[in-house]
Amino acid sequence: MKNIVVGAGISGAAVARILAEAGEKVEVIEAKDHIAGNCFDYFDENGICVHKYGTHIFHTDNREVWDFLSRFTTWYPYMHKVLGLVEGQLVPIPFNLNSIRKVFPEGMARKLEDKLTERFGFGRKVPILELRQAEDPDLSFLADYIYNHVFLIYTTKQWGMKPEEIDPSVTARVPVYVSRDDRYFQNRWQGIPDNGYTAMIKNMLEHENITVRTGTAWKQVKDEYAKERIFYTGHVDELMDRCFGDLPYRSISFDFRTYDREYFQPAAVVNYPENNDFTRIGEYKYFLGTQSSKTVVSLEYSSAYEYGKNEPYYPIASAANSALHEKYMAAAREAYPNICFLGRLGDYRYYDMDKAVARVFALMRENGILKA
């Protein structure tokens, strides 16, 4: 039985490589005209590595995932820091003890720091909705301040919903951090592929047992491959011709700009939780420490996903959406008996890159390709 991998992003490339190294023949089908999916990047005329689909930062505590990907790239050691424009000041995001010092007078800041540390413990990451339940009037004030100035408008722009309407697993991704660690991630291994994500994924797909067809949508070849073993990383509602209606996603559009200056902003990513219609601005030369007299930035605008008009980026977690996804999965498995789903779209899960690869390892063990 031939293995068909639908999608040449990081999930599809990981599946293809593991299968190929197990002696299996693999054909990778990719609808885009390039590999690497939403990880796709390229070097522009100024030597800046631009992420076409928005900023991607690799970080993990999973040794197996790190070692696997490190076979296909060397890493530029990069620690991601994000700033947010709050009441006209750039403060660390997630909101932490340094952020408190930035926005409040010294005496007030010290009092809030002491109460946060006493209540939650130093180093604790506290979801904003948990902090809002604090009964202490000072902590309640702090929670309302962070909620209104950092979370509310940004979340509404990003997801089209208020924080309370979103699955807690999503809002917990950007907690209040009782620490002075300004890094966005605290994982053991962090970095950017030295030659970009596209080069890393190209190396993953370079194997005698792997063939790749880009610019080829699944619907063009489904009759040819329907009975093969399929690893599907696309969205399952499209696979089933949206017979039960659309699965909800959020989409993003990017306004790329090149400026004739060394830097545009003081960090790789600056969030705009209160101002403007865009959610954040990414500046790409930070990621590989590129030296150039010019710089490239992208302004990100979030919107609802509309089939055929824009790209699906983020699945929207909710009980109703999960039920619809399961309904689609059941129908798909009946139509394609040898199909497996994975990736953000296939699993309808908000995966980071390392979690997407870890999911591949788990799936390969379930299917007996890797030893348990």
> Over the stretch 30-73, which tens digit does the pLDDT of each residue have?
999 999 999 999 999 999 999 999 999 999 999 999 999 999 99
The closest alpha carbon to 343, from 32, 5, 46, belongs to 5
Furthest CA-CA distance within the chain: 70
Query: Which residues make Cβ contacts (< 8 Å) with residue 240, sequence separation at least 6?
Result: 328, 331, 332, 335
Q: What is the DSSP letter of 267?
A: S
Confidence at residue 176, expressed as pLDDT on a 0 to 100 scale? 94
> Over the stretch 251-301, which tens digit does the pLDDT of each residue have?
999 999 999 999 999 999 999 999 999 999 999 999 999 999 999 999 999
Confidence at residue 306, expressed as pLDDT on a 0 to 100 scale? 95
Helix (H) or strand (E) holding 5: strand 3-6
Confidence of residue 310 (pLDDT cuts 50, 70, 90): very high
3-state secondary structure 161-180: CCHHHCCHHHHCCCCEECCC
d(CA 202, CA 115): 50
pLDDT at residue 171 tops 90: no
Confidence of residue 341 (pLDDT cuts 50, 70, 90): very high
State which amino acid sits at residue 285. Answer: K
Tell me which of 2-6, 184-188, 222-226, 287-291 is least confident. 222-226
pLDDT at residue 97 tops 80: yes
pLDDT at residue 1 tops 80: no
DSSP E strand stretches across 161-276: 176-177, 189-193, 210-213, 229-232, 249-259, 269-271
**Percentage of residues in the chain having pLDDT higher than 70:** 100
Fold of 3-77+191-247+315-366: Rossmann fold (3.40.50)
pLDDT at residue 109 tops 80: yes
Q: Domain boundaries in the chain?
A: 3-77+191-247+315-366, 82-177
The dihedral through the CA atoms of 312, 330, 20, 357 has a sign that is: positive
d(CA 179, CA 99): 10
Confidence at residue 18, expressed as pLDDT on a 0 to 100 scale? 98
Q: Look up the pTM and report it.
A: 0.95
Confidence of residue 13 (pLDDT cuts 50, 70, 90): very high
